[in-house]
Amino acid sequence: MTEAPVIEIEDLWFSRNGEVILEGINLRVLPGDVFAILGPNGGGKTTLLKVILGLISPDRGTVRILGGLPRERRHLIGYVPQLHTFDFHYPISVREMVLSGLLGRKTGMIKTFSTADTVLADKALATLGIAHLADRAIRDLSGGEQQRAVIARALVGDPKVLLLDEPTVFVDTPTETQFYDILGNLARTMTIVMVTHDIGVIISHVTKVACLNRRLFTHDSRELTEDMIQGAYKCPVDIIAHGHPHRVLRPHPSEE
Amino acid sequence: MLSLLGYEFFRNALLAGVLASVACGIIGTFVVIRRMVAISGGISHAAFGGIGLGYYLGIEPLLGALGFTVGAALTMGELEQRAEQNMDTLIGAVWATGMALGILFIYVTPGFAPDLFGYLFGNILLVPQGDLVLMLVLVVIIVITVSILFNDLVAVTFDQEYATVTNLPAERLLLVLLVLIALTVVMLIQVVGIILVIALLTLPAAISRECTARVKTMMIFAVLLGCAFTTAGIFLSAFLNIPSGATIILVSAAAYGGVLVKKRLARRYLNPVATGPDRQ
């Protein structure tokens, strides 16, 4: 493909308090990719996301989002933070929360939401099948419904790429199954990047996989090879794609 | 009892109570939902340094307090963002430093500081006309700023990181909110005093939160509750001849306790579905 990358990272280094967190990261996410970045906790996944979102600056290297700097282009990313970082007791309705995803593009001193904005918000909620919950308070939603609402907020601004941080952490199994269905639907029309320590996330929708543990191991394919896992996890890992059995390891020659 | 309304000082006290309630209903709502109670405590105690400075320089102590609260708010906000310090630690430092400066200034000021007790514990029955004007100006500033920035402030208090990613000036908005807290604190000093400020800032909003799941409704309820508490407290204190600031706080705390008990009982004895928008 000759299309320009949605996210392009070149030779990215980041260290904190003298400790190298990210070492020589290279990553190209192309339009239509469903890219899963796996890695153990403390492997630099959150840091990588923050660099992509322009929340922290790298020591060295460049990050481009659709050809521009993160701070200029990050509003084109539909960001879905980890669910447990939310204060779901905040007094806000589902629709208001989704609308807040449109606030950054408003200009002028007083930012109000128009009828057109409300239509967009309700459309995003309908995409995720929770249009009927629009007027409910977020604290009255179930975990799965809350996750859908957070994704709806990311979708409302019509982003070019969806960026998900640990989408299956702290959700129960039925919610996780729901999430895979949502992801499958979105993957048909969107570029998706997700970061997770849950190897089970490697499901049939994913088109590319990388492993991150300070360094990024990838073959630009959906194949998760043993050397990638060895590199990231420093030990052999049993790969069990629970819920969605899908083989990601090449059949080992000796197995046959 | 209503004959008290014939006195100008009493009408002034009621008016001061209403003005303070408007400010603390609006700003207290943000303080409660964004969990900024401790930082508000730090800001209010820093005010004591300004009151001491006011005495020392011979200017209006509340103006000194205004300078110190705004300064403390901006210092804590900036240091948290730039110096990557724990807010908890910063609050402790600013809280005690403000009080220490106040004590020093008052010590080096010749003579006696007559209204010191009033600034610490409030004396709404002695609000001078000039302070009412200052309170009115501050309320107008607070109401206008929050009206203009309402959606931005909700977004940034709900999810600061996401607000930043959507390119809202999240850090600046939080500094604005801290300054608004500082202005509110100055208004409340007159009513309940530095030490009791955080109670009046948080209790009406905390009760209101139990009744609604919308920020705007929460603000309106909190303003009305604040008016009820201050008015009841002022009448009670005049009637029983007890300190007004403490009475207002005790009335508020009793109401909050009542709401919590009622919530508990409702959960225990009623069908959980019938208890409505309670937390799950």
Give B267 to chain A, closest Cα distance, Å.
16
**CA distance linking residue B244 with residue B196, whole number of Å:** 11
Q: Average of pLDDT values for A234-245?
A: 43
Structural domain containing residue A241: 7-255
* A contact test, residue of B35, B161, B162 with most A CBs within 10 A: B162
Kindly determine whether residue B166 and residue A104, on different chains, have CB atoms separated by under 8 Å: yes
Q: What is the per-residue pLDDT for A245?
A: 40
pLDDT class of A196 with cuts at 50, 70, 90: confident
Domain chopping of chain B, boundaries:
2-275
Residue B279, pLDDT above cutoff 50? no
Q: What is the DSSP string of chain A?
A: --SPPSEEEEEEEEEETTEEEEEEEEEEE-TT-EEEEE--TTSSHHHHHHHHTTSS--SEEEEEETTB-HHHHGGGEEEE--GGGS-TTSS-BHHHHHHGGGGGG--SSS----HHHHHHHHHHHHHTT-GGGTTSBGGGS-HHHHHHHHHHHHHTT--SEEEEESTTTT--HHHHHHHHHHHHHHHTTSEEEEEES-GGG--TT--EEEEEESEEEE-SSS---HHHHHHHHSS-------SS----SPPPGGG-
Of A89, A111, A137, the CB nearest to B151: A111
Q: What is the per-residue pLDDT for A223?
A: 67
As for how many domains chain A has, the answer is 1
* Within-domain flag for A39: yes
Q: What is the per-residue pLDDT for B274?
A: 46
Nearest to B193 by CA among B256, B116, B99: B116
CATH code matching the domain that covers B2-275, chosen among 3.60.9.10, 1.10.3720.10, 2.40.50.100, 1.10.3470.10: 1.10.3470.10
Interface of A with B in 49-78 (CB under 8 A): 53-55, 71, 74-75, 77
B159 touches chain A (CB under 8 A): yes
- Which residues contact residue B52 at a Cβ distance below 8 angstroms, ignoring those fewer than 6 apart? B64, B101, B102, B103, B104, B105, B106, B109
* Within-domain flag for A1: no
Residue B261, pLDDT above cutoff 60? yes
Q: In A, which residues are within 8 Å of B158 by CB distance?
A: 87, 90, 92, 97, 100
**Who wins on pLDDT, B153 or B263?**
B153
* Within-domain flag for A66: yes
Angle between helices B244-269 and B197-211 (to 10 degrees): 30
Q: What is the per-residue pLDDT for B138?
A: 95
* Within-domain flag for A52: yes
B220 touches chain A (CB under 8 A): no
Give A147 to chain B, closest Cα distance, Å.
15
Q: Give the tens place of pLDDT for each residue, B117-151.
A: 889 988 888 888 888 999 999 999 999 999 999 99
B209 touches chain A (CB under 8 A): yes
* Within-domain flag for A2: no
**Are the beta carbons of B204 and B225 closer than 8 angstroms?**
yes
Kindly determine whether residue B168 and residue A104, on different chains, have CB atoms separated by under 8 Å: yes
**CA distance linking residue B173 with residue B150, whole number of Å:** 10
Q: Which range (A60-64, B129-133, B172-176) has the least confidence?
A: B129-133
pLDDT class of A251 with cuts at 50, 70, 90: very low
Residue A10, pLDDT above cutoff 90? yes
Kindly determine whether residue A91 and residue B33, on different chains, have CB atoms separated by under 8 Å: yes
**Who wins on pLDDT, B174 or A3?**
B174
- Which residues contact residue B261 at a Cβ distance below 8 angstroms, ignoring those fewer than 6 apart? none
Q: What is the per-residue pLDDT for A236?
A: 45
Residue A161, pLDDT above cutoff 60? yes
- Give the CATH number for residue A78: 3.40.50.300
Residue A73, pLDDT above cutoff 80? yes
Q: Give the tens place of pLDDT for each residue, A112-160.
A: 899 999 999 999 999 998 999 999 999 999 888 998 999 999 999 989 8
Residue A240, pLDDT above cutoff 60? no
Q: What is the per-residue pLDDT for A182?
A: 82
pLDDT class of A230 with cuts at 50, 70, 90: low
Q: What mean pLDDT, rounded, does chain A reach?
A: 83
For A149, list phi and psi in degrees, rounded to 5. Answer: -65, -40
* Within-domain flag for A170: yes
Q: Give the tens place of pLDDT for each residue, A27-55.
A: 999 999 999 898 888 889 989 999 999 99
**CA distance linking residue A136 with residue B184, whole number of Å:** 31
Task: Give the distance, in angstroms, between the CA of residue B50 and the centroid of all CA atoms in the same chain.
Answer: 17
**CA distance linking residue B250 with residue B270, whole number of Å:** 29
Q: What is the per-residue pLDDT for A180?
A: 80
Of B158, B279, B280, the CB nearest to A92: B158
**Are the beta carbons of A143 and A134 closer than 8 angstroms?**
no
Of A53, A77, A103, the CB nearest to B168: A103
Q: Average of pLDDT values for A190-209?
A: 79
A157 touches chain B (CB under 8 A): yes
pLDDT class of B7 with cuts at 50, 70, 90: confident
**CA distance linking residue B250 with residue A68, whole number of Å:** 57
Q: In B, which residues are within 8 Å of A146 by CB distance?
A: none
Q: In A, which residues are within 8 Å of B163 by CB distance?
A: 100, 103-104
B212 touches chain A (CB under 8 A): yes
Q: What is the per-residue pLDDT for B169?
A: 93
Share of chain A above pLDDT 70, in %: 81
Highest mean pLDDT out of A180-194, B113-127, B206-220:
B206-220
Q: Average of pLDDT values for A149-178?
A: 86
* Within-domain flag for A245: yes
Q: What is the per-residue pLDDT for A234?
A: 55
